[in-house]
Structure 1
Amino acid sequence: MAPSDRRPTIIDVARKAGVSKSTVSLVIQNSPLVKQKTREQVQAAMAEIGYVYNRAAANLRSAGAGLVGLVINDLRNPFFTEFATSLQMALSSRGYAAVVANTDEDPQLQAQVVEAMIEHGVSAMILSPAYGDEALSFEALQRAGIPAMQVLRKVEMRTELFPFAAPDYPNGTRIATEHLLEQGAKRIAFVGGLEGRAVTQERMAGYLTAIESAGLEPHVLTGSASRAFGRQAAHELADDHPEVDGAVCFNDQVALGMISGCAEIGRNVGRDLRIVGFDDIEEAAHSWPPLSSVRCDIDGFGKLVAETILAWLENDKVPPPEIRTPVSLAIRGSSGETPAG
Structure 2
Amino acid sequence: MTTTRRPTIIDVALKAGVSKSTVSLVLQNSPSVRDETRKLVRHAMAEIGYVYNRAAANMRKSNAGLIGLVINDLRNPFFTEFATSLQMALAEKGYSTVIANTDESAALQAQVVGAMIEHGVSAFIICPTYGETAPTFDAIAKAGIPAMQMLRRVDDRLDLFPFTAPDYLSGSRDATEHLLSTGARRVAFVGGLEGRAVTEERKAGYLSVLAAAGMEPLVVTGRASRAFGRDAAKRLAEQHPEVDAAVCFNDLVALGMLSGFHEIGRRVGEDFRIVGFDDIEDAAQTFPGVSSVRCDIAGIGARAADTVIRWLEAGEVPPPETRTPISLSVRASSGA
- Shorter-normalised TM range: 0.7 to 0.9
The SS at the match of 2:292 is strand
Closer, same or farther in 2 for the Cα pair 1:295/1:198, shift >3 Å? same
Q: Counterpart of 1:107?
A: 106
Report matched runs for 1:285-296 at 5 Å: 285-296=284-295
The alpha carbon displacement at 1:236 in A equals 0.5
The SS at the match of 1:329 is strand
1:86–1:299 contact (8 Å) kept in structure 2 = yes
User: Matched residues in 1 for 2:182 and 2:60: separation?
Assistant: 58
User: Matched residues in 2 for 1:35 and 1:260: separation?
Assistant: 66
Q: Counterpart of 2:318?
A: 319
Q: Counterpart of 2:263?
A: 264
One of 9, 33, 53 as aligned partner of 2:44 = 33
Matched, 1:197 2:196: yes
The SS at the match of 1:229 is helix
The alpha carbon displacement at 1:334 in A equals 0.4
The alpha carbon displacement at 1:60 in A equals 2.9
Deviations 1:144-188 (A, max 9, x none): 111110000000011111100000000000000000000000100
User: Matched residues in 2 for 1:197 and 1:150: separation?
Assistant: 15
Report matched runs for 1:107-146 at 5 Å: 107-146=106-145
- The structure 1 segments of at least 4 consecutive aligned residues displaced by more than 3 Å after TM superposition are 18-23, 53-58
User: Matched residues in 1 for 2:60 and 2:204: separation?
Assistant: 45
User: Matched residues in 1 for 2:190 and 2:219: separation?
Assistant: 6
2:250–2:278 contact (8 Å) kept in structure 1 = yes
User: Matched residues in 2 for 1:128 and 1:21: separation?
Assistant: 21
1:226–1:253 contact (8 Å) kept in structure 2 = yes
Q: Counterpart of 1:47?
A: none
User: Matched residues in 2 for 1:304 and 1:194: separation?
Assistant: 28
User: Matched residues in 2 for 1:152 and 1:286: separation?
Assistant: 24
User: Matched residues in 2 for 1:329 and 1:21: separation?
Assistant: 39
Matched, 1:178 2:177: yes
Query: More displaced, 80-89 or 58-67?
Result: 58-67
Deviations 1:3-37 (A, max 9, x none): xxxxxxx99x979xx999949x99xx9x762476x
The alpha carbon displacement at 1:67 in A equals 0.3
User: Matched residues in 1 for 2:100 and 2:55: separation?
Assistant: 27
Deviations 1:186-236 (A, max 9, x none): 100000000110010011111111111111011000000000000010011
User: Matched residues in 1 for 2:19 and 2:245: separation?
Assistant: 53
Q: Counterpart of 1:79?
A: 78
1:190–1:220 contact (8 Å) kept in structure 2 = yes
- 5+ residue gaps, structure 1, are 1-9, 44-52
User: Matched residues in 1 for 2:81 and 2:97: separation?
Assistant: 14
The alpha carbon displacement at 1:288 in A equals 1.1
The sequence identity of aligned pairs, in percent, is: 63
TM-score norm. by structure 1 comes to 0.85
1:21–1:143 contact (8 Å) kept in structure 2 = no
Letter in 1 for 2:335: G
Q: Counterpart of 2:4?
A: none
User: Matched residues in 2 for 1:274 and 1:226: separation?
Assistant: 19
TM-score norm. by structure 2 comes to 0.86
Deviations 1:317-337 (A, max 9, x none): 111100101000000000011
Matched, 1:167 2:178: no
Q: Counterpart of 1:4?
A: none
The alpha carbon displacement at 1:61 in A equals 1.9
2:19–2:146 contact (8 Å) kept in structure 1 = no
2:89–2:302 contact (8 Å) kept in structure 1 = yes
Q: Counterpart of 1:95?
A: 94
- 5+ residue gaps, structure 2, are 1-6, 28-41
User: Matched residues in 1 for 2:214 and 2:97: separation?
Assistant: 48
Q: Counterpart of 1:64?
A: 63
Q: Counterpart of 1:207?
A: 206
Q: Counterpart of 1:3?
A: none
Q: Counterpart of 1:335?
A: 334
The SS at the match of 1:213 is helix
The alpha carbon displacement at 1:62 in A equals 1.6
